[in-house]
Amino acid sequence: MSRILVVDDDPHILRTLEIMLTGDGHEVVTAASGERALEQLDLRPVDIALVDLQLPGMSGTDLLRHMRDLHRDVQAVIITAHGSIETAVEVMKEGAFDYLTKPFSPDQVRHRLQQMERVAQLQGEVAGLRRRIGELPFRSEFITQNPKTLHLLEVAHEVALSEATVLITGESGTGKTLIAKLIHAASPRSQGPFVVVDCTSFQEALLESELFGHKRGSFTGAVSDKVGKVETANGGTLFLDEIGEVPSHLQGKLLRLVEDRTYERLGDPASRQVDARIIAASNRDLEEMVREHLFREDLFYRLSVVDLHLPALRHRPEDVLLLAREFVSSFGNAHGRHVAGWDGEVERALVTYTWPGNVRELAHAIERAVLLAPGRTIRIEHLPERIRQKSASNGAIDEQLTLAEIEERHIRRALAWNLSQEETAKRLGIDPSTLWRKRKRYGL
């Protein structure tokens, strides 16, 4: 069964479809406007949207465009009282699966839904096959089985072929730099330089010179002309890491660079042009910084033409053991160690730990364990103390946990088996849709 969003300003149609679809076993969400529909989509993902073409305010076609950009996984059917070939062609161009003409019968709705569910099933099977044979974009470089992250990789691969500015957000250690490198490598600029500017690594007075370069004598210590990172990136990609740390007086100059690809060296009034794609990254909430007047709103919108948000590792529990196995293999080869795996206590610790440092912390923990393990098996004493302590405290307070906390931990362990959603749900003894709702509840 599917999660279905019904968008129509006619309360009778909303109620009729809600009763019918709920009776058929679907989970139904309703909205009387396009604006309310987008709010609902932000609150909970859906599989299918039935959207009236004639809506107050935002039209059904405009809503479809927003869904195409922000909620790409939602299949949409347009509902219209003005059915025509022209209408059908127009909405199909905007990404609709099909359209229904009012008045329609319950059987017509059911038929469309059956078609869409069958297509979704086939697409899922294809995606599963592609995952197993490693054909997903960037699959061999960015290791994941998490659906949201897999979707992000697909979007990243698509935008790599464009010149669009990309903003990559997420906590430290989630892999933002790796995504930026993969986008560059898959782009028409792959033969050009990939130039990284870590905006946290320079004092405020030196960052402008590092970015734009300077002319001899422009400040004390400037004994010769210097080429900046912007100029070095010509013909390639400029990656501005942790752009949220850029001081306010430089943000205006960055805005000009992003908009026009022009800049000036320090001490040199001559305007220069650069041909470089710009990718930025931040572990801070730039929208919140905009609200607090710490980051320019116009710069934020220029940077976030495409916004890719990497989930934290604690929200990707199915990836923990998958990544850990890869790290055991790679660090074993790098250090000449013959470690083959870990015991059950280590596995429980890896799965239940929340990894505040994300993938980077997991990599460091496994590298340490590979170096300390005397034989072929990693044991709990080879893990960092903070992980051992957390594991011990988890075991000590199990009896004090609420039922919800125990359930979350059990689901987290189950997801680490790296099985399909259906197989994981089967082993847990629940329906796949129930598993999806519980993952949503616990942020897994």
158 & 296 share domain:
yes
262 & 318 share domain:
no
Domain boundaries, position 39: 3-128
DSSP state of 30: E
Asked if 121 and 48 count as a contact pair (C-beta separation under 8 A), the reply is: no
Residue 392's pLDDT band, with cuts at 50, 70 and 90, is low
Closest CA to 187 of 263, 258, 278, 261: 278
- 265: domain CATH number is 3.40.50.300
319 & 429 share domain:
yes
272 & 341 share domain:
no
pLDDT digits (tens, 9 = 90+) for 204-234: 768 888 898 877 766 666 767 888 899 999 9
Q: Calculate what percentage of the chain has a pLDDT beyond 70.
A: 87
431 & 418 share domain:
yes
154 & 266 share domain:
yes
324 & 307 share domain:
no
151 & 223 share domain:
yes
Phi-psi region for residue 175, left (φ > 0), alpha (ψ -120 to 50) or beta? left
DSSP state of 244: G
Residue 115's pLDDT band, with cuts at 50, 70 and 90, is confident
Look at the chain and report how many structural domains it folds into: 3
**Residue 120 or residue 58, greater confidence:** 58
Asked if 43 and 440 count as a contact pair (C-beta separation under 8 A), the reply is: no
DSSP 316-353: -GGGHHHHHHHHHHHHHHHHT----EE-HHHHHHHHHS
Residue 368 inside a domain? The answer is yes
DSSP 148-161: HHHHHHHHHHHHHT
51 & 180 share domain:
no
301 & 153 share domain:
yes
**Residue 203 or residue 83, greater confidence:** 203
- Written as six digits, the tokens of 332 are 């074993």
159 & 175 share domain:
yes
238 & 302 share domain:
yes
- 326: domain CATH number is 1.10.8.60
Residue 396's pLDDT band, with cuts at 50, 70 and 90, is very low
Report the pLDDT value the prediction gives residue 86, as an integer from 0 to 100.
65
Residue 139 inside a domain? The answer is no
At a CB cut-off of 8 Å and minimum separation 6, what does 366 contact? 324, 327, 328, 331, 378
Residue 66 inside a domain? The answer is yes
Considering 287, 311, 335, which residue would you say is the last residue of a domain? Answer: 311
Residue 134 inside a domain? The answer is no
Report the pLDDT value the prediction gives residue 72, as an integer from 0 to 100.
72
Report the pLDDT value the prediction gives residue 262, as an integer from 0 to 100.
92
Q: Is the pLDDT of residue 130 over 60?
A: no
For the chain, give the mean pLDDT.
Answer: 84
pLDDT digits (tens, 9 = 90+) for 2-14: 789 999 988 898 9
Q: Find where tokens 């572990």 sit.
A: 283
Instruction: For residues 173-196, give the mean pLDDT.
Output: 94
- Is 0.75 topped by the overall pTM? no
Asked if 169 and 286 count as a contact pair (C-beta separation under 8 A), the reply is: yes
Instruction: For residues 57-78, give the mean pLDDT.
Output: 81
Residue 135 inside a domain? The answer is no
Instruction: For residues 77-105, give the mean pLDDT.
Output: 73
Considering 259, 287, 311, which residue would you say is the last residue of a domain? Answer: 311
- For 359-381, b/e burial (b = at least 16 CB within 10 A) is bebbbebbbbbbeebeeeebebe
Sign (positive/negative) of CA torsion 134, 139, 142, 147?
A: negative
- Written as six digits, the tokens of 116 are 């869409």
Distance separating alpha carbons of residues 203 and 394, to the nearest angstrom: 42
Q: Is the pLDDT of residue 118 over 80?
A: no
**Residue 132 or residue 260, greater confidence:** 260
Residue 366 inside a domain? The answer is yes
Q: Calculate what percentage of the chain has a pLDDT beyond 90.
A: 38
Q: Is the pLDDT of residue 257 over 90?
A: yes
| Axis crossing angle, helix 60-70 with helix 34-43, rounded to the nearest 10 | 20
Residue 125's pLDDT band, with cuts at 50, 70 and 90, is low
**Residue 415 or residue 353, greater confidence:** 353
Report, in angstroms and rounded to the nearest whole number, the Rg of the chain calculated over CA atoms.
26
Residue 94 inside a domain? The answer is yes
Q: Is the pLDDT of residue 21 over 80?
A: yes
Considering 72, 95, 128, which residue would you say is the last residue of a domain? Answer: 128
Residue 244 inside a domain? The answer is yes
* H/E segment holding residue 197: strand 194-198
- 84: domain CATH number is 3.40.50.2300
**Residue 169 or residue 405, greater confidence:** 169
Question: For residue 113, with 0-12 CB atoms within 10 Å meaning exposed, 13-18 middle and 19 or more buried, which class applies?
Answer: buried
